[in-house]
Amino acid sequence: MRSSVRWLATTLLIITGCAENAQEDIRPDLSKFSICSVLSSSLPDSVYFPDDQVYQSQTDSYWATNQGELAAACRVTPRSREDVQKAMWVLSRSSKSSTFAVKSGGHSAVANTSNVESGVVIDLELLNHINVDTEIGIVDIGPGARWADVYRHVDMLPGIYGVAGGRAGSVGVGGYFVGGGLSVFTGTHGWACDNAVAFEIVLGNGSIVQASHRSHQDLFRVIKGGGSNFGIVTRVKTRLIPLERQIDVTQISYDWTQLPTVLEALSRYTAEADTEPETTVSVSIGGLMNGGAMLVTVVLTSLYDTYLSESLRPFFKIRHVFIQRQRRSQLDIARLYDSSEPKGFREHRTTTTVENDAFLLLMMARNFSDTVAPAMAKLKETGSQGGLLLQPLTLSHLRHSKDNMIGLHKAKEPLILISTVIRHSQPETDEKVEDLLLDHMRQANELALRRGSAHAWRYLNYAGIDTDPFEYHKGDDRLWSFVLATKEKYDPSNVFGEQIRDPFRINS
């Protein structure tokens, strides 16, 4: 049987060459064969099974252990875009029940976003090239590269440069771009996806397209913030950003009693920061879930000087317990964020977006501290962590969200993006932890509605199982019709709607 499968797969791949113009009526039905066997025959050195060491190594590489413990039937590790093409050619001709997931960095904790039980995982870890061309100002990156590796390459260049990329170095390039991508440059240069000048994409039928401002413009738009709904990105070309100096970073920690004052400073910054788009603020509220006091930490960045910034000055005036100010490279900043989000926990995360309302943020933080943290302590989850991350979406951010799937360019007032997370260790408490988190967010959204501060937009890269990251887009008939038409054009068989189990998929 195995030899017949090998003969079938090899012969058909040779005859068709995975040609994108092959006629539908002569394409074979592979549904009666084991999908992993066919893939192994087509890609003999790139398919791994549960008893293989590479398979084990890849499952251990997931940032959240609850994602990594899903047991795929096999894992495909392409070495080239042609390998991805062959894998998609086989998958698209198999039974619709042959499910798959795509992994670039594996940073999401939501089940089936980058791993899938009993299905096929296409792990892009070997598509990790990083080529920098300072003459044309472009960085050519494979989706399996991590941002820490990209920054390391950029740091070695003569002169000082940056790239609109993830603040955490452990994040993979591919998923970050198709999710939109916030960075320290969003206010001045737009979302990370806006800095991409071209994407190489393998479609559901196995064909390869180059999407840019000049070619496949419709696909180029929706892939930026549209997630894994249109194809697999195998290459991104993005802009290199010349800098006058390294980024000025100030980290300030406050005790819990200063939270109201910090949130008032955040609200003021959100309202006024449009005048200083070169700055960013993130506020973390959280700590160990052991019943102790939570800590408030603010990270301020500026392409010039945080201390001389008018919009950042209020944060320096608040009584603090720790302050550190340094000029840092993006690699240094990535290490700072990675140290605050260690790998190896079970993670549950969700997100919301609200209008600029300091009182609402205070009520959310107090609810987490008074309800979620004590409940976690009762579960006796030693070492568990949790909290809220608040990030302003200023008018500068919003103006840069038009020719993509972010879609916030019509917003007239700045917003606050909120990510809430719990990290713990015990599998048996997963359901209780998830219920705690989702109930906290439900209460927060209900309060936002009562106060008139709710907003429907959700950030795909922070989305949880309760999140519809495209709810806001569906409210714009013209935009959503464009999205669905583009989906139908490039994925007419709905491979990425039916066979992928990503909960944030779009069905055409």
Which residue in this structure is represented by tokens 């068709």? 16
Strands, DSSP E only, in 316-414? 322-328, 346-355, 385-393
Per-residue model confidence (pLDDT) at position 284? 96
Q: Give the model's confidence band at 30: pLDDT under 50 very low, under 70 low, under 90 confident, else very high.
A: low
Do 372 and 436 contact (CB within 8 A), yes or no?
yes
User: What is the DSSP secondary structure assignment for residue 271, as one 8-state letter?
Assistant: H
pLDDT above 50: residue 20: no
Q: Say what percent of the chain tops pLDDT 70.
A: 93
Long-range contacts of 130-133 (CB under 8 A, 24+ apart): 132/157, 132/240, 133/240
What is the band of 33 on the pLDDT scale with cuts at 50, 70, 90?
low
Q: Examine the pLDDT at 79 and tell me if it is beyond 80.
A: yes
- Give 83's pLDDT tier (boundaries 50, 70, 90): very high
Q: pLDDT above 90 covers what percent of the chain?
A: 84
Q: Does the structure show a pLDDT above 80 at 480? A: yes
Angstrom distance (rounded) from CA 393 to CA 396:
8
In CATH, the number for domain 2-125 is: 3.30.43.10
| pLDDT value of residue 11 | 37
pLDDT tens-digit series, residues 324-378? 999 999 999 999 888 888 888 999 999 999 999 999 999 999 999 999 999 998 8
Nearest CA-CA partner of 76 in 115, 29, 109: 115
**Residue 150 and residue 196: Cα distance in Å, rounded?**
14
Q: Which two tokens stand for residue 239?
A: 């802009």
Range ranked top by mean pLDDT from 28-32, 152-156, 401-405: 152-156
Which residues on adjacent β-strands are paired with residue 410?
Answer: none
What is the spatial distance between Cα 201 and Cα 224, in angstroms, rounded to a whole number? 12
CA dist., res. 80 & res. 200, Å (int): 12
Phi, psi (degrees; rounded to nearest 5) at 201: -135, 130
Strands of 322-328's sheet in order across: 322-328, 247-254, 295-302, 279-288, 385-393, 415-424, 346-355, 454-455
Terminal CA-CA length for the chain: 36
Q: Position 429: which residue type?
A: T
Whether residue 208 has pLDDT greater than 60 = yes
Per DSSP, the residues of 456-502 read: ----GGG--TT--TTHHHHT-HHHHHHHHHHHHHH-TT-HHHHTB--
The answer to whether 247 touches 302, Cβ cutoff 8 Å, is: yes
Q: How far apart are alpha carbons 287 and 300 in whole angstroms? A: 19
Q: What is the DSSP string of 52-108?
A: SHHHHHHHHT-SBHHHHTS--SEEE--SSHHHHHHHHHHHHTS-TT--EEEESS---
Is 26's pLDDT higher than 80? no
DSSP H helical ranges for 115-183: 147-155, 173-178
Enumerate the domain spans of the chain.
2-125, 130-242, 247-473
Q: Which CATH number fits domain 247-473: 3.40.50.720, 3.40.50.300, 3.40.462.20, 3.40.50.970?
A: 3.40.462.20
What DSSP element (H or E) covers 11?
helix 2-16
User: For residues 61 and 27, which has the higher predicted lDDT (pLDDT)?
Assistant: 61
* Structure-block tokens of residue 146: 């991590």
Closest CA to 106 of 66, 165, 46: 66
Q: 391 with 417: CB under 8 angstroms?
A: yes
Distance between CA atoms of 410 and 467, rounded to whole angstroms?
Answer: 22
Q: 57: which residues sit within 8 A by CB, 6+ positions away?
A: none
Closest CA to 479 of 500, 503, 506, 455: 506
∠473-104-339 over CA atoms, to 5°? 95
130-242: CATH architecture = 2-Layer Sandwich (3.30)
pLDDT above 70 (res 8): no
Would you call 465 exposed, middle or buried from its count of C-beta atoms within 10 A (0-12, 13-18, 19+)? Answer: middle
Pairing of strands 130-133, 279-288: unpaired
Mean pLDDT of 127-135: 97
